[in-house]
A and B are shown apart, each in its own frame.
Chain A
Amino acid sequence: AQTVTQSQPEMSVQEAETVTLSCTYDTSENNYYLFWYKQPPSRQMILVIRQEAYKQQNATENRFSVNFQKAAKSFSLKISDSQLGDTAMYFCAFMKGGMYSGGGADGLTFGKGTHLIIQP
């Protein structure tokens, strides 16, 4: 079984600042995917960014980027130029599977979440 740990229950930064959310995981799998999901007050789960473990290049999506360190089993999320609308719970998630294997219907394992507050 795999575990996902988010050690920062809550973070608060000023608008326009850069913030990094931490995530570590433990697994015996060699092929897997990692995700960051955002859950605003509406409770909708929104996919922010994904990373395939077999890719060395860190994923980026506009203001969001990750620092994926496979050997250290670390997967942090960096939000640049933070905006008020970024205020939300952020969940790191793990899913088994890889480029040449299945896993398409495997469930996600989530961390406990980090509550990010962007101050005006």
Chain B
Amino acid sequence: AAGVIQSPRHLIKEKRETATLKCYPIPRHDTVYWYQQGPGQDPQFLISFYEKMQSDKGSIPDRFSAQQFSDYHSELNMSSLELGDSALYFCASSLEGQKPYEQYFGPGTRLTVT
């Protein structure tokens, strides 16, 4: 079965640079979520989108922005990168009308800021 696709899988950036992470949800899924998992930490919810509209917002820094496009893929834009942004970034997807809203995670993008 098709899964959530994230690209790139690994990314190395320097401080103050920008980064863009991409997420392609499971076919027919209309909802996308972004999570950040620091080393040895639990995943922290950043933001979610349903039908291209922001749905829920968590602990997303103001330096980060995200959007969902007409084909339901999503991009997380990160600017003025800091060392503390080094983490594993997960995208998850779900189908809004399919209770109980199981979220299926992608493999993650490992971002290293040097």
Which residues from chain A sit less than 8 Å from chain B, CB to CB? Answer: 33, 35, 37, 42-47, 50, 52, 91, 95, 97, 99, 103-113
Say yes or no: A33 contacts B100, CB within 8 Å: yes
Nearest-CB residue, chain B, relative to A37: B105
Q: How far is the CA of A97 from the CA of B45 in the complex (A)?
A: 16
> 4 closest pairs, A vs B, by CB?
A107-B45, A105-B55, A45-B105, A110-B42
Given contacts A43-B37, A47-B102, A106-B56, 16 further A-B contacts (CB under 8 A): A33-B101, A43-B108, A44-B107, A44-B108, A45-B90, A52-B99, A103-B101, A104-B94, A104-B96, A104-B99, A105-B55, A106-B48, A107-B33, A107-B48, A108-B103, A109-B45
Contacts of A97 in B (CB 8 A): 100-101
21 pairs, CB–CB < 8 Å, chain A vs chain B: A33-B100, A43-B88, A45-B43, A46-B105, A50-B102, A95-B103, A97-B101, A104-B31, A104-B94, A104-B96, A104-B99, A104-B101, A105-B50, A105-B56, A105-B101, A106-B48, A106-B101, A107-B35, A107-B48, A108-B33, A108-B103
